[in-house]
Chain A
Amino acid sequence: MTIAARPTTTTASQPAPKRGFKFTPGVMIWPAMLYLILTTQVPFFMTVYYSFFKYNLVIPDDRPFIGFGNYVSLLTNPQNLLIVWNTIVLAGGTLILTLLIGGILAMLLNREFAGRALLRTLMISSFLVMPIVTAVIWKNMLLNPVSGFFSWVLSSLGLQPVDWLAQFPMASVITMITWEWTPFAALILLTGLQSLPDDQLEAARLDGASPLQEFQHIVMPHWAQAIQVVVLMETIALLQVYGEIYGSTSGGPGLATTNLPYFIYQKAFAEYNIGLASAAGVLTVILTNILAVYLLRMISRTSASNKGG
């Protein structure tokens, strides 16, 4: 999973025809590869390059090379560690919640009942909503301390209304994003369950397996791949959460909901600090790759030991 342009030589082994254009398999792969290299790898290396300079767009001509200066100032400022922590809490918290709620929903939806097909179809809805719509609707109509729906629920229960985004900013943002991503987890996990043949469960029951044993030894191994997909896709997506924060808290109050993407956006487009934003971008890429690879390893190890035991 390296970012480096490793397999660029893939098609070099194809003997290139000397006379004119020929429609070979190798030629067919190149345009896509070239496009991705030009729009992801090249800009990334430029980001790495900019990260070694003190470079602000306000003073574009004064651009001294400062080596790892941007990285040092990023990593030594305790405030920035909070931002890394926020990024991980937001992604990790949402991932765990979506797996839990999604898993329960998947099991509930994997039963025969009236309206099941309709519910399953409607379930995907919140995942399809544009993140910025999620943010403005939740911020204004649900979480507003005066006339938001949740405040009305609290006050009709005789409780004090709560200014959710001010008092519990991170929990509110996680709730919002969990609302978006739970259908994704639920539906992927549901397809995993549906691949489970009925007679396996039946056999286990006849052998006197308890529901817990049943879950651990029969359901889980079948779920391993689905869980792997959910964890990988969500990790990549949740480390990049931006629209939901941009549309609701703008990273606040203070830095309470500022994650790395939002921090970089602020540095680059509000403070024009290209050097520092680039260094933070490089760190985000490294963090994403480490987490994704580590999680994948962990999952494949767990599922392997599950199958063995």
Chain B
Amino acid sequence: MTTIQPNTGPTKAAPSGGQSKSRNQLRNTLLTIVTYIIALSFLFPLIWMFMAAFKTEAQAIASPPIFAFTPILENFSNALSGYFPALKNSLIAAVGSTILAFILGLPAAFALAVYPTARAQNVLTWMLSTKMMPAVGVIVPLFLLFRNLHLLDTLPGLILMYTTMNLPLVVWMMHSYMTEIPFAIYEAAKVDGASVAQEFFIIALPLAMPGVAATALLAVIFAWNEVFFAVNLTSSDAAPLSVFISSFKTGMGLFWAQMSAAAVLTVLPVLIFGWVAQRQLIRGLSFGAVK
């Protein structure tokens, strides 16, 4: 622990002469190599999966493993038949629930940010505390209710649950973005006789758009990756990608190349979104606590 300096400023090598400078350089190089080794070992399972997706089944399962091979695309065309219906369901559930969460959450975030009452913080805390409600605390009555309402294995049912999951996130994130809008802008609008609705639609919404984009991205990712509700509330008609992938748990799991192709198709959209929006992602993942 002591050899790892939390910060390498330009000041570090200053006090002493050339010898310690080159020693510092050596240490820096070593630390960089260590960093790369740790990072690559974290990436390895994914690299391995991407490689297997382009191998034949025999190459994929070969031991010792094969690192050089002629890539093929056959696995993807094999995986597609199961993939497309699940992709459609995942897209509708993720986007639909995100839109619904914004319709419900944006006005609330605005009101809590711009018209904070004494209890605004309580409301926010309470909304966050619903995240401490494990899904298993609500799944049984929801399952029975969904069965009676014929919502089992339907996309509306899935959208309802994903909205619950993402609504606290939307309110917290949008609250954090909307409190960043200078209050003077609202004051000026009020002086000009703007109504609450006008303040919301004409001032707050356009100015908070970057926040909306970042938060929506995160909400879509969470809904896309959700497993528990998907497995327990859908079976075939509304089964999203997580249920499709779980078919590789056993039997189909023997087909490593095809499984990898399906996994790549499932993971890649989220990975690309995440890489592009990494900065905003951190803010969202910490509910705005870390910017």
Residues in A lying within 8 Å of B, measured CB to CB? 1-3, 6-7, 10-11, 13, 23-26, 28-29, 31-33, 35-36, 39-41, 43-44, 46-47, 50, 101, 104-105, 107-115, 119-142, 146-147, 149, 151-152, 156, 179, 182-184, 187-188, 191-193, 196, 198, 201-202, 205, 210-212, 214-215, 219, 225-226, 229, 233, 236, 239-240, 242-243, 246-248, 250, 260-261, 264-265, 268-269, 274, 277-278, 280-282, 284-285, 288-289, 292
Q: Is B11 an interface residue (CB 8 A)?
A: yes
The answer to whether A124 and B39 touch (CB under 8 A), given A240-B134, A281-B139, is no
Q: Does B63 lie within 8 Å of A151, measured CB to CB?
A: yes
Q: Does B227 lie within 8 Å of A131, measured CB to CB?
A: yes
Interface on chain B toward A: helix, strand, loop, or mixed SS? helix
CB contacts under 8 Å to A, within B1-24, are 1-9, 11
The answer to whether A128 and B126 touch (CB under 8 A), given A40-B133, A107-B4, A280-B136, is no
Task: Report the count of interface residues on B (CB-CB < 8 A).
Answer: 111
Contact partner, A147, options B62, B137, B232, B274, Cβ 8 Å: B62
Known A-B contacts: A113-B31, A130-B270, A137-B45. Give 10 more (CB < 8 A): A26-B111, A111-B31, A128-B271, A140-B259, A151-B63, A188-B282, A243-B228, A243-B231, A247-B245, A285-B134
Could you tell me the distance between the alpha carbons of A133 and B139 in the complex, rounded to whole angstroms?
23
Q: Is B150 an interface residue (CB 8 A)?
A: no
The answer to whether A285 and B137 touch (CB under 8 A), given A10-B122, A152-B64, is yes
Contact partner, B245, options A11, A108, A136, Cβ 8 Å: A136
Chain B residues whose CB sits within 8 angstroms of the CB of A127 once the complex forms: 274
Chain A residues whose CB sits within 8 angstroms of the CB of B43 once the complex forms: 122, 125-126
Chain B residues whose CB sits within 8 angstroms of the CB of A136 once the complex forms: 245-246, 248-249, 253, 259, 263
Q: Does A126 lie within 8 Å of B42, measured CB to CB?
A: yes
Could you tell me the distance between the alpha carbons of A130 and B197 in the complex, rounded to whole angstroms?
39
Q: Is B77 an interface residue (CB 8 A)?
A: no
Task: Give 1 or 0 for each of B133-149: 1 = CB within 8 Å of chain A CB.
Answer: 11111111111110000
Chain B residues whose CB sits within 8 angstroms of the CB of A39 once the complex forms: 138, 142, 160-161, 163-164
